[in-house]
Amino acid sequence: MKTLFHFTILLFVCSMSFAQFETNYEERNVPKFSVPDPLTTFAGEKISTSEDWIAQRRPELLKFFENKVYGKVPGNLDEVTFKLLEENKNALNGKARRKQVEVTLTKNEKSIRFTILIYLPKNSTLAPIFLGYNFFGNHSITTDTNVFISEAWAMNSEALSISEHRLTEVSRGLRAHRWAIEKIIDRGFGLATIYYGEIDPDKNDLMDGLQNLFYEKGQERPERNEWGSLAAWAFGYSRALDYFEQDNNIDASKVLVFGHSRLGKAALWAGATDKRFAGVISNNSGCGGAALSKRRFGETINVINTSFPHWFSYNFKNYNNNEEALPVDQHQLLALIAPRPLYVASAKEDEWADPKGEFLSAYHASQIYGLFGKKGISNIEMPEVHKPIHNTIAYHIREGKHDVTDYDWEQYVTWASEFLKLNR
């Protein structure tokens, strides 16, 4: 079924009729393909132990995803600094401690700044925490009037009353339904969020965000194998983790990186590239996220690279309408996260993101988790709606559309309590 949402997205694509022509929503039209074997190296050698995975296979896969999919980070920053802008020990009606921390990233005498909004359970001394970007500013996730409004460029949105690319008071709390803050706090977790536009504004311009800090004089775009916006957002997640390592109220060994949709893609890449993340949650991440590309169901590589040319490395365009040439698929991205806990979630009406492709990816990543004695998804049949599977790899499909709901958060919090060994 094509929802209004999908229609809007298709409008986004410059060549609308082309995109519509391409979009397949029929299982019978999924091309025949073989799922690249995570246990066979590019040179054709079989591996069968976690040691060989770590020493041989994981590095070559990571390198492939770096150079051909998301793009490499071209170097190190010169400096990362943190500044506590504000703290309140009685936030959310006395339930939580709130902090707003400004992070400054500097290279080549250029800087960008972003602000992390953090809520922690009031009486916890060392809280495990969910970290996730938001789409429309930290103030959009809560009605808390003390949350600062970002001055960064924003996508216009009629629903959120955002025009002229500026965030204002009017959108305070308008995305609160996507963030079950009270539930998270009540179950002993913290929540940290960042406006993703402060790292790299989500438009086809790689001059106005993080990438620019790394450019040589006169350079206007990254090299072909270097980062697009998704890898920049993933890098931002890691810098937030740098801050957590210095905050005495946060347990930096228990940070779950979370993201919805394009930000779910970024969360997966952050989990793959930064082993300090204790686990990853991908909510409806779809094409270039959890979903298998070779199925060509819903959004395809060609469509995503056309609609969002700035998200991946330039090299990824080599696979536009050419999925069969890809020697990897997204289950191997998921496998890079092993043996750490990983949650993949789908929504039934979110066919654009290919729920079955997201599930199969989690299923095929499970053999790598098996090498570590961890349980993934053992049955290739998709579970029914609202029948979550909570193993080290977890999966659920819920009713409804592309979104983050209370049902999703209930699953994440329950699963995280078990898999981060909190049992609260």
Give start and end residues of each alpha helix (H) in 225-348.
229-244, 262-273, 301-307, 330-335
Q: Based on CB atoms, which residue is closest to ligand GCU, 185 or 291?
A: 291
Question: Please, what is the minimum distance in Å from the beta carbon of residue 300 to ligand GCU?
Answer: 10
Q: Based on CB atoms, which residue is closest to ligand GCU, 100 or 282?
A: 282
Q: Based on CB atoms, which residue is closest to ligand GCU, 251 or 351?
A: 351
Question: Please, what is the minimum distance in Å from the beta carbon of residue 378 to ligand GCU?
Answer: 28
- DSSP state string for 263-299: HHHHHHHHHHH-TT-SEEEEES--TTTTS-GGG--BS
Question: Please, what is the minimum distance in Å from the beta carbon of residue 299 to ligand GCU?
Answer: 5
417 flagged as catalytic = no
Whole-Å CA distances, 35 to 44, 46, 286, 324: 15, 15, 17, 10
Question: Please, what is the minimum distance in Å from the beta carbon of residue 107 to ligand GCU?
Answer: 28
| CB-facing half-sphere around the CA of 121: CA atoms within 13 A | 18
User: What's the CA gap between 298 and 76, in Å, rounded?
Assistant: 37
| Phi, psi angle pair for 360, to nearest 5° | -60, -35
Whole-Å CA distances, 283 to 226, 262, 331, 362, 373: 26, 9, 15, 13, 25
Question: Please, what is the minimum distance in Å from the beta carbon of residue 156 to ligand GCU?
Answer: 15
260 flagged as catalytic = no
Binding site for ligand GCU (CB under 6 A): 9, 261-262, 286-287, 299, 304, 307, 352
Question: Please, what is the minimum distance in Å from the beta carbon of residue 279 to ligand GCU?
Answer: 21
Q: Tell me which of 6, 310, 364, 402 is the catalytic residue.
A: 402
| CB-facing half-sphere around the CA of 281: CA atoms within 13 A | 25
Q: Tell me which of 50, 261, 293, 313 is the catalytic residue.
A: 261
Tokens of 194: 């960042």
- Are the C-beta atoms of 293 and 330 separated by less than 8 Å? yes
Whole-Å CA distances, 240 to 105, 145, 237: 11, 23, 5
Question: Strands 250-260, 389-390: parallel, antiparallel or unpaired by DSSP?
Answer: unpaired
Q: Based on CB atoms, which residue is closest to ligand GCU, 147 or 304?
A: 304
What amino acid positions are annotated as catalytic residues? 261, 402
